[in-house]
Amino acid sequence: MIRNIGKNGAILAAFAILTTLLIVLTSLATDSTITQQQQSKLRQTLNTVIPANLHENDIAANCVIVTDAQLLGPSANRRIYRASVNGEYVAMAIEATAPDGYSGDIDLLVGTRLDGTVTGVRVLSHRETPGLGDKIDASISDWILAFNGKRYSDESRSRWAVKKDGGQFDQFTGATITPRAVVSAVARAVQFGQQNQSELLQAENNCALDTDHEDNAHAQ
């Protein structure tokens, strides 16, 4: 009987080890797939806010990590992606958050030329009301495209508001808080890029994916 108990215990132990090994291998495979999907989605979004004709490098592999609660929102470790042509930086994609959305934080990616002209904006995440505030999402409406080609400067600052506040951007019927928050956050992001441009473009690359990749060594 003791022998049988010992044999059964050994079988259970082996089964437990095998099950644990399978779980670990499945987790590793899943993590790798998730990471690849995230990188693919990031590149797609970056190529949307900074069109292909404005860069030759792999933007996702060239960035600076910064923190600025006042202009970029409360979260730390914001990424400022840098786009270059012929070895010279020409644009940036700036992560930012509008902390004053109707339903909370609205995370954004803001593309801008070095002169402050917006090349594209996309909402990365939000919890705004379906049918009202969610119109900031490009999959719901084309409202977010109104930023394309708009230039932010000290002289044009007053125009960076919704029309209800005397600005140039439409608000939504029954929902002014959400677009107001996004417009302000985009303006602050471009302002951050303008105020810190020299440092951002000269800083060491914090997003190198492969030290041997040619795109990781663009203009410093």
The 10s digit of each residue's pLDDT in 37-85 is: 656 788 999 999 999 999 999 999 999 999 999 999 988 899 999 999 9
Q: Which residues pair with 95 in a beta bridge?
A: 109
Mean pLDDT of the chain: 86
Return the sign of the alpha-carbon dihedral for residues 163, 169, 175, 180.
Answer: negative
Question: Cβ contacts of residue 160 below 8 Å, gap of 6+?
Answer: 150, 152, 167, 168, 169, 183, 184, 186, 187
**pLDDT confidence of residue 167:** 97
15 against 57, higher pLDDT: 57
Weakest mean pLDDT among 4-13, 67-76, 193-202: 4-13
106 against 217, higher pLDDT: 106
Asked if 122 contacts 42 with a C-beta cutoff of 8 angstroms, the reply is: no
Q: What is the DSSP letter of 117?
A: B
Strand, helix or coil for residue 74? coil
**pLDDT confidence of residue 217:** 38
The 10s digit of each residue's pLDDT in 151-183 is: 999 999 999 999 999 999 999 999 999 999 999
Count CB neighbours of 170 within 10 A.
14
**pLDDT confidence of residue 22:** 59
pLDDT-derived band at 4 (thresholds 50, 70, 90) equals: low
220 against 116, higher pLDDT: 116
pLDDT-derived band at 216 (thresholds 50, 70, 90) equals: very low
Strands 88-101, 63-66: pairing kind: unpaired
The share of the chain scoring above pLDDT 90, in percent, equals 72
Our separate counts of H helices and E strands in the chain read 4, 5
